[in-house]
Amino acid sequence: MKSNVANERWLSPHFKLSEFTRSGTAIRLSIKNEPSEADVERLRLLCTNVLEPLRGRFGVIRITSGFRCPQLNAAVGGVARSQHLTGEAADIHVPSLEAARQMADFIRRETVFDQLLLERRLSNGCVWLHVSYTAQRANRRQYRECWV
């Protein structure tokens, strides 16, 4: 399989662009999930302002969803105005509800963020954090726990 050189760029010291664009759904449905340069810059700001401090405190972080083109966002059931569409959001895998709460508390105390959702799928217990950062306006620092 050929490597997409554009996706091998570093957004910050510990995060590559490819971590934010890869998607099993995109591969399965042959969706070209490529951000614009403006989207890449917004991902860079998310990494610098939220994800790098989080990694510094908790170690390696696994991004499960980052940038989504409109077709991919629709395919995964994302909301129409999702910040994933503009490179302002990422979903982070967490191993447990306790770890998610610890990470969420750190983000709330130590970073500037727009939206932070602690999400848990009731059907299988899967837990993740959705976090966003924006430079388009003041960050709202909105926090919610959502059971889906």
**Other CB atoms within 10 A of residue 106 CB:** 15
pLDDT in tens, 22-57: 999 999 999 999 999 999 999 999 999 999 999 999
- Contact criterion met (CB below 8 Å) for 66 and 90: yes
pLDDT attached to residue 76: 96
pLDDT (mean) for 108-130 = 93
Is pTM beyond 0.85? Reply is yes
**Mean pLDDT confidence for 3-10:** 64
Comparing CA positions, the residue from 17, 31, 130 lying closest to residue 84 is 130
CB 114 within 8 A of CB 83: yes
Check residue 7 and give its pLDDT. 46
Among residues 54, 51, 69, 65, which one has the least CA distance to residue 15? 51
Question: Measured between alpha carbons, how far is residue 81 from residues 36, 93, 98, 144 in Å?
Answer: 17, 22, 29, 18
Q: What is the pLDDT of residue 2?
A: 43
pLDDT given at position 5: 52
pLDDT of residue 125: 80
